Amino acid sequence: MNPMELTRARPGEAFTVTFDGRPLPALPGQTIAAALWSAGVTAWRSTRGTGAPRGVFCGIGVCFDCLVTVDGRPNRRACLVPVRPGQLIRSQEGTGHDND
């Protein structure tokens, strides 16, 4: 059984955010990381030096593997930042360098 069925939870209406130029659906109450995962995106940052892909590691804001640029602001932890309608989310290279 779906956990939302058990709790009778009804999420609000879906909205759209943009990730690296493509529209993605999101739901109220999700973090950016949850919205990306829901859309099948599991990595959105590459490490400094080796360029290894990164996404969520700890999921609670302790590490910095999930960094993204949100509305032009780099170094936002995707696991902590709530997703908002119309956000422009971009992947990052290393720590703080937007992928323009």
Mean pLDDT, all residues of the chain: 87
pLDDT score of 97 more than 60: no
Q: What is the pLDDT of residue 99?
A: 47
Residue 71 lies in a domain: yes
Residue 48 lies in a domain: yes
Domain ranges, residue 81:
31-94
Residue 78 lies in a domain: yes
Residue 5 lies in a domain: no
Residue 24 lies in a domain: no
- Of the chain, the percentage scoring pLDDT greater than 70 comes to 84
Residue 40 lies in a domain: yes
CB of 27 closer than 8 Å to CB of 36: no
Residue 57 lies in a domain: yes
Tell me the torsion sign for CA atoms 17, 22, 25, 26: negative
- What span, in angstroms and rounded, lies between the C-alpha atoms of 4 and 20? 30
Residue 6 lies in a domain: no
User: What's the number of domains the chain is made of?
Assistant: 1
Could you tell me the pLDDT band of residue 95, with boundaries at 50, 70 and 90?
Answer: low
Q: What is the pLDDT of residue 57?
A: 87
Q: What is the pLDDT of residue 100?
A: 45
Could you tell me the pLDDT band of residue 30, with boundaries at 50, 70 and 90?
Answer: very high
Comparing 9 with 47, which gets the higher pLDDT?
47
pLDDT score of 26 more than 70: yes
The CATH number for 44's domain is 3.10.20
